[in-house]
Amino acid sequence: MLRRGEVRVNGGRIKPDYRLQAEDEIRIPPVFEQKSGTQDAAPAYLVDMIKGCVIYEDDRLVVINKPAGLSVHAGTGSFFGVIELLRGLFHREDNLHLIHRLDKETSGCLMMAKSMPVLRQVNLALKTGDVQKEYDALLKGRLQQKKTVVDTPLQRHRSRYGEGRVRVEGSGKTALSEFEAVEFFRDATRVKVRIGTGRTHQIRVHADSIGHPIAGDRKYGDREFNREMRTAGLKRMFLHAGKLSVPELKATGEYQFSAPLPGDLEDILKRLAHQRKP
């Protein structure tokens, strides 16, 4: 409700970080909340779908190949997210924790911890850069170099209407992304992206900051380029978390996971390759 501007203070919209003052008059719209224990169960097709997405499970971790279009947790417009569906699937109400996140339109490897000690251990590895993450992306235009490293800091902020965005800002948090060109098309470049940090919208903002936004990105992308990609059949953002490696959590060594590029993105690459031919 805050993000949508429905909470009013002294008759006007207010930012979520506003601190209330004495004598402020607050208006909150009607709130309808289900009583504890009465939440509807997730539809069977969603449970079956998320079950088929699990690519690894042991007593420490659950890893899935998240499909595009599914949020990692319930929220505005999403009654069930990945974490709610998996908690129901594994009958773990409180002992399944998201280790990291993927945007709703991003597909690929997503990890959950089965205990707080494992969550803390992997979070520490994330902070120190010991967790390796590699993404597949399609960028506007042709990268001039084989590898492009972007290390500009990022800062989160909200618009006057409460929309969350991220921008390059000197006072922001450190962020590091490496883009490696692997295939060139007429107006686009397929890249592998390796990130040393995991900031919100990091790859999307870094790609846009160097003049090569991600295909299908409606928030940070290029409208004309996105229109061309839709003509080619692209129906969502071309970003996929393809590989993930985690430091030793067991005696046999590190975890390594991979998720193949989804069929819809493979089809786009085939169409672009066909257009490239004389």
CB < 8 Å & 24+ apart, contacts of 2-5: 2/162, 3/76, 3/158, 3/162, 3/163, 3/164, 4/76, 4/162, 5/161, 5/162
Q: What's the average model confidence in pLDDT over 173-180?
A: 95
pLDDT tens string 41-93 = 777 888 889 999 999 999 889 999 999 999 998 875 667 889 889 888 887 66
Q: Which of 40, 103, 208, 222 is catalytic?
A: 103
Beta bridge partners of 48: none
* Alpha-carbon gap, residue 140 to 221, rounded angstroms: 9
Domains by residue range for the chain, with CATH: 39-276 (3.30.2350.10)
pLDDT for 116-174, tens place per residue?
999 999 999 888 888 999 999 999 999 999 999 999 999 988 776 667 889 999 989 99
Give tens-digit pLDDT for 197-225.
Answer: 889 999 999 999 999 999 999 999 999 99
Question: Tokens standing for 176?
Answer: 């590091």
Q: Sorting pLDDT into bands at 50, 70 and 90, what band is 234?
A: very high
Q: Is 94 one of the annotated active-site residues of the chain? A: no
- Helices 82-89 & 44-53 angle (0-180, nearest 10): 90
